[in-house]
Amino acid sequence: MSNERDTVVRTFTDRVGRPPAGVWAAPGRVNLIGEHTDYNDGFVMPFALSQAVTVAASPREDDTWSVTSLNLDSTRTFTRADLVPGMSGWAAYAAGVVWALEGAGHQIDGADLVLSSDVPTGAGLSSSAALECAVLATLAELSGLQIEPLERSKLARRCENEFVGAPTGLMDQAASTLCTAEHALFFDCRSYAAEQVPLDLGVAGLELLVLDTKTPHDLVDSEYADRRATCEEAARRLGVQALRDVLDLDDALARLSDPTMRRRVRHVVTENARVLQAAELLGAGRIRDLAPLLDASHASMRDDFEITVPTVDLAVSAAREAGAYGARMTGGGFGGCIIALVETGDVDRVGRAVADRFQRARYAAPAWFAGVPSAGAGRVA
Ligand code: ADP
Ligand code: MG
């Protein structure tokens, strides 16, 4: 049993007075490639991490939900009457799942939940989707519901969009729900078609460094809205439903006069093409050949979409100088994490090289780990 599982089972048993009916978990994720393509109806390629939210739970007799986060040392209790969108605090991510399930016509029974997570929060690794998907897997099974995986991810997203109030796409919840071990998820954000593409790093003699730059991202919301609006306006001027539909980039660029808009379009169209190429390469078992795509993705985010910041650019260049094959920022931008493809056993050496450069630049110390493509949400005990 993992530490996390041990901890939630022990704490649940202490607090409730009997062992839990079961233990469920749902992972955080990183996006291997495909940034800001989701709202352009394009492609993304996340994989689930081994870091997860783990929940021990049992049904209770009354229509009450009691949720404890061991990370925050906080217990929140709510009933149906409390299920009002906009609820404040972390428990909204759990209450919103009950709200979304019931809104879809499912009857959810009261339950006690004790959870613990090793997904870093606020680093762009989707601790919020992990929390939602873990609670959803727990409550669905305790209430005896059969819900298809894609439908589960849509319900978890409804919680985040409509109950918590964060306007995100489906990628995070789809990754946390649909991913399988040793695979990335090639996901079409228009059709929601999902394909598992092999990503067995060990067999290829590789590891994937995930490094959190610990950059506070204050600008995220306004910059995100700006990029999104520019992409939508560009699609309108080009007469397409979304930038995913731009098939001839040169022709599209020739038809747009605004230089900033042209750069934004070039990022989205080339990034979509890179995801398609990545899917082909992984399908052929050519993981090492992802390296130039990771580099090109980073350059495109830095120069065309302009969503990187100095810490992130330094982390990427320091990782490359330390011998990483390819590296890029992952996530929405203005901070968060980078990923770098490195030789097996090199994660700590490359992480330390980045940390040295950060220290010399007087940046906050980064944190890092090896990202291991892992299974999506499910019962673990
Ligand atoms: P990210 O998803 O990138 O980690 P978000 O801001 O979307 O960042 O979500 C982080 C929020 O999710 C936290 O502020 C908290 O409200 C909630 N959360 C995540 N993990 C936990 C946890 N283990 N316990 C309680 N709340 C959590
Ligand atoms: Mg989140």
Q: SS3 string of the chain?
A: CCHHHHHHHHHHHHHHCCCCCEEEEEEEEEECCCCCCHHHCCEECEEEEEEEEEEEEEECCCCEEEEEECCCCEEEEEEHHHCCCCCCCCCHHHHHHHHHHHHCCCCCCCEEEEEEECCCCCCCCCHHHHHHHHHHHHHHHHCCCCCCHHHHHHHHHHHHHHHHCCCCCCHHHHHHHHCCCCEEEEEECCCCCEEEEECCCCCCCEEEEEEECCCCCCCHHHHHHHHHHHHHHHHHHHCCCCHHHCCCHHHHHHCCCCHHHHHHHHHHHHHHHHHHHHHHHHHCCCHHHHHHHHHHHHHHHHHCCCCCCHHHHHHHHHHHHCCCCEEEEECCCCCCEEEEEEECCCHHHHHHHHHHHHHHCCCCCCEEEECCCECCCEECC
For residue 160, what are the contacts with CB-CB under 8 A and spacing of at least 6? 93, 96, 128, 129, 132, 166, 168, 172, 173
CB under 8 Å to 312, separation ≥6 — which residues? Answer: 213, 215, 329, 333, 335, 336, 338
pTM of the entire structure?
0.97
Instruction: Tell me which residue has its CA closest to atom 3 in ligand 1.
Output: 124
Determine the distance separating the centroid of ligand 1 and the alpha carbon of 152, expressed in angstroms. 19
- Binding site membership of 126 for ligand 1 (Cβ less than 6 Å): yes
Ligand 1: residue of 7, 30, 51, 93 to mutate (most ligand atoms within 8 A of CB) is: 93
Instruction: For ligand 1, atom 7, name the residue with the nearest CA.
Output: 128
Find out whether the beta carbon of 176 lies less than 6 Å from any atom of ligand 1: no
| Cβ–ligand 1 contact at 72 (below 6 Å) | yes
Question: What separation in Å is there between the alpha carbon of 339 and the centre of ligand 2?
Answer: 18
Residue segments in the chain with a per-residue pLDDT below the cut of 70: 1
Tokens describing residue 330: 């992952």
Q: Identify the nearest ligand to the CA of 164 by its number.
A: 1
The CA 362 to ligand 1 mean position distance, Å, reads 28
Binding site membership of 93 for ligand 1 (Cβ less than 6 Å): yes
Beta bridge partners of 197: 184
* For helices 127-142 and 171-178, angle between their N-to-C axes, nearest 10 degrees: 50
- Provide the 10 A C-beta neighbour count for residue 69: 20
Q: pLDDT (tens digit, 9 = 90+) per residue, 94-140?
A: 999 999 999 999 999 999 999 999 999 999 999 999 999 999 999 99
169 and 190 Cβ atoms separated by less than 8 Å: no
Active site residue 172: yes
Distance 90 CA to ligand 1 centre (A): 7
Q: Are 249 and 266 in contact (CB under 8 A)?
A: yes
Pocket of ligand 1, candidates 68, 90, 135: which has the most ligand atoms within 8 Å of its Cβ, to mutate? Answer: 90
Give, using CA atoms, the residue closest to atom 6 of ligand 1.
122
Q: What are phi and psi of 375, to 5 degrees?
A: -75, 155
Ligand 1: does its nearest atom lie under 6 Å from the Cβ of 31? no
Cβ of 131 closer than 6 Å to ligand 1, yes or no, is yes
117 lines ligand 1 (CB under 6 A): yes
Beta bridge partners of 208: 341
Q: Which residues contact 67 (CB under 8 A, 6 or more apart)?
A: 75, 76, 77, 78, 91, 94, 95, 113, 115, 135
Token digits for 153? Answer: 């991810």
Q: In the Cβ-directed half-sphere of 356, how many Cα atoms lie within 13 Å? A: 11
